[in-house]
């Protein structure tokens, strides 16, 4: 896996929605300012994620306050730079960490796996044609498909607890992904 995605978030509470929205915007703006300094296309990219604001209700009804949540997503191939950056965003906490394959890596591996699957299909068709006592075969129908692996999501992490070092890097380690390609079809055996 060559693509790391880290979602950082923050929550705020206040008596009115405008205050919560303002506090969330300040936290996100501060994180974006720092993250944009480290951004490099394809290697470390930054974008905003979800931004939600919702009321809290009192036990006897009515709105007792407001709560909101905002996210910033840092993703790319430079896992070390991403890990270091997450430690420098003190206004946000790590909510999710996910690994996956970049589009380029997935396409390259899919092409290799599909070529292998086609070769196996042909070899099996030829062997079974021979086992049935026929001389050759014609392909009648063929379907080729690949499945995109789901991103691997690590357990949610909360590193920015009170007292945690603000420049502590996120410990990350990529795993492996499975890329699957299937080839199916029908053949007509010929004497």
Chain segment 87-111, per-residue pLDDT in tens: 899 899 999 999 888 888 888 988 9
- Provide the token pair at 162: 């009170």
- Provide the token pair at 108: 């390259």
User: So what's the pLDDT on residue 47?
Assistant: 96
What is the band of 148 on the pLDDT scale with cuts at 50, 70, 90?
low
pLDDT, the chain, mean = 87
Chain segment 35-91, per-residue pLDDT in tens: 999 999 989 999 999 999 999 999 998 999 999 999 999 999 999 999 999 989 989
Strand order in the sheet with 63-76: 45-57, 63-76, 3-14, 93-100, 152-154
30-34, 39-43, 142-146, 185-189 — which is least confidently predicted?
Answer: 142-146
Percent of the chain whose pLDDT exceeds 90 = 66
User: So what's the pLDDT on residue 167?
Assistant: 56
Q: How many CA atoms lie within 13 A of 149 on its CB side?
A: 23
- Which residues does residue 73 pair with via DSSP β-bridges, in sequence order? 7, 47
Torsion of CA 41, 152, 48, 17, to 10 degrees: -170
What is the band of 149 on the pLDDT scale with cuts at 50, 70, 90?
low
Closest by alpha carbon to 172, among 97, 108, 62?
97
* Under 8 Å between Cβ of 156 and 95: yes
The Cα 142–Cα 67 span in angstroms is 54
Give SS3 for 11.
strand
Mean pLDDT, to the nearest integer, of 156-182? 61
Q: Is the pTM of this model over 0.85?
A: no
């Amino acid at each position: 896996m060559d693509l790391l995605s880290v979602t950082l978030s923050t929550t705020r509470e206040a008596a009115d929605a405008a205050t919560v929205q303002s506090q969330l915007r300040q936290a996100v703006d501060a994180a974006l300012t720092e993250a944009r300094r480290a951004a490099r296309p394809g290697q470390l990219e930054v974008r905003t994620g979800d931004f939600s604001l919702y009321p809290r209700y009192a036990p006897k009804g009515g709105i007792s306050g407001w709560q909101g949540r905002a996210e910033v997503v840092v993703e790319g191939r430079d896992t070390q730079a991403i890990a270091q950056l997450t430690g420098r965003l003190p206004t946000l906490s790590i909510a999710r960490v996910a690994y996956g394959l970049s589009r380029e890596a997935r396409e390259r591996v899919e092409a290799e796996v599909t070529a292998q699957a086609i070769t196996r299909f042909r070899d099996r068709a030829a062997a079974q044609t021979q086992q049935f006592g026929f001389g050759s075969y014609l392909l009648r129908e063929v379907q080729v498909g690949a499945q995109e692996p789901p991103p691997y999501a690590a357990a949610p992490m909360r590193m920015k607890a009170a007292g945690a070092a603000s420049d502590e890097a996120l410990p990350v380690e990529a795993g492996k992904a499975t890329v699957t390609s299937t080839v199916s079809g029908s053949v007509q055996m010929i004497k």
